[in-house]
Every structure is written in C-alpha cells, then in structure tokens.
Amino acid sequence: MESKAHHILVLSDLGVATEATLKSAISLANMIQGNIELFHVKRAGDIVHKENQLSAMRSINEEKSSTKKKIQELIQPISEAYGIEIPFNFAFGNVKNEIASHIKGNRPDIIVMGKKQSKLLGLGSDGLTQFVMEEFKGILMIVGSENSLEPKHPLSLGVFNGNFPSFAGRLLAYTKQPLKSFKIANGDVAKEEQTDAYETVEYVFESGDQSIKNMSSYLSKSNVNLFCVDRGRTKTGQEVKTKHSDITNIVNNFNISLLISAQ
C-alpha cells in the first residue's frame, strides 16, 4: 500500500522571496513525495478604504481578480519548469485568524515560509515566525535569504547540538557527506548521534551571549543550506529538548534555511 503523500503548505506574501520559497518547497516535496499548496493572506483594511458598501464590494472583487492573476503569474513558470502542480488559495481578513483557520481546516504536515515577510502579516519577522510556531506543531521550514534549496540539487545538512530530527532522516539519501553538527558547549548538551552510514563532522562553539551569532556567521561560510533543529525531544537520559529561547535566537539570527521538527 502506498503511503499518504505529505501535504506541504507554503505561506507567501507574493513578494521577491516567493520564487526561492516555492523552489525550496518543491525540493522538499521531491525528496519526500509530497504535494504543495500556496496560501496568501491580505488584510481587508489594505483593500477597503471607503465606507460605501457598494464601493467596498467592488474593491474586494477587483482585488480578488488581481490577486488571483498575480499568483498564477508567479506559480506558472515554476510549476512548468519542475513539472509539479501548485494549487493555491488566498483570503482577505484578519491575517492571524485566516492562517489559523486554514491550518486547522487543511491540516498540513509541513509548512514552508520565507523569512521577514512583513507584508504578509504586518508583523515583524519575529512575530510571524513565533505565531506560526505556536499555532502549528508540525514540521516547519523557514527559507533563508542565503543558499536556499534548489530542486534536484544535493543538500548540505547541518544539525543543532547533535540532535537529528527523525523526519530529517528521510533527507539523508539526498545529502552530501559529511553531515555537520554545530554544538554549543555546556553541561546540558546532548551527545552527538552518529550513524554507520553517514560521517558527521562536529563544530563546537563556546557557550555565551554571542554563541548563536557566531554559529550563524560560520554557517554562512560553510555551504550548509538546511539546518535542522529538533524541538520535539524531552529530556530523557541523553536526549535534550532544544530550548525555546535557542530556537527563537536561531530563527532571528540565521540567514540559511531551517528545518524545525514537529513538536
């Protein structure tokens, strides 16, 4: 029996990062046999500026038509280039509510989103990422501005503190060896998990206020294009759940793409 395809939801502001975000989603979909859907939200207040109900309805209808056309123009060349269908949906209204409703109604396995999408939510990048992480407990990919994924190109994987999320194991067949483990040296760090089939090189950074920033600077030069963070572990034996503050710090400071595990 064939396994159910993973449903990947792409959140997009339809801005300049959309192409990289879609390509990253396609790359992931190809590796895990997933399907993709794009979802866009625009605040109603950005559309309706008149009190007259008839004028307001006309503005909404015009915006629906132009938004649909814009999405189609963004998706079509990428869809044709990589031979994958990308259905889409969009909504006008309260952005948090619309995203929460869409997640609840469609139950994606994975969400892919770009970084610093201020136009999407009218929030800072921190607010956007924080909201999605709190609302969605599944796998989250945050596409960075540097060295993003390309379909049919091999991955260069990095892992945080030696914790390799179980889902990421499905990507190993598409990964250039060796894996790279980036660890902050302190008493609570989990021991690195080695595998027989994949060599791992470990980089250790001193614990301190600048640890994550120093790691980010090194990662930008190391050709890692997907950094895995495990937020799903609990402290049992040598397994240590990645602290929420560390995840937030990583999201805020890293410019490469992140794969954050389900919780």
Quote the strand ranges of the chain, DSSP E.
6-11, 34-42, 88-92, 110-114, 139-143, 157-160, 179-185, 200-206, 226-229, 258-260
**Residue 150 is assigned to a structural domain of this protein:** no
Residue environment code for 105-121, b if the CB has 16+ CB neighbours within 10 A, otherwise e: eeebbbbbbbbbbeebb
Residue 173 banded pLDDT, cuts 50, 70, 90: confident
Do both 227 and 123 map to the same domain? no
Task: Kindly write down the DSSP assignment for every residue of 81-110, as one continuous string.
Answer: HHT----EEEEES-HHHHHHHHHHHH--SE
Do both 128 and 76 map to the same domain? yes
Do both 36 and 134 map to the same domain? yes
**Residue 151 is assigned to a structural domain of this protein:** no
The encoded tokens of residue 59 equal 């503005």
Higher pLDDT: 45 or 87? It is 87
Task: Say which CATH number the domain at 139 has.
Answer: 3.40.50.620
**Residue 1 is assigned to a structural domain of this protein:** no
Do both 162 and 43 map to the same domain? no
Task: Check residue 91 and give its pLDDT.
Answer: 94
Task: Check residue 176 and give its pLDDT.
Answer: 84
Do both 165 and 136 map to the same domain? no
**Residue 149 is assigned to a structural domain of this protein:** no
Dihedral sign computed on CA atoms, order 241, 108, 5, 148 = negative
Residue 49 near residue 136, CB atoms below 8 Å: no
> Which residue range(s) make up the domain with 217?
157-260
Using the predicted structure, report yes or no on whether residue 262 has a pLDDT greater than 60. Answer: yes
**Residue 152 is assigned to a structural domain of this protein:** no
**Residue 225 is assigned to a structural domain of this protein:** yes
Q: Which among 72-86, 189-203, 240-254 has the top mean pLDDT?
A: 72-86
Query: Coil, helix or strand for 67?
Result: helix
**Residue 187 is assigned to a structural domain of this protein:** yes
Rounded average pLDDT over 39-56: 76
> How many independent structural domains does the chain possess?
2
Do both 32 and 95 map to the same domain? yes
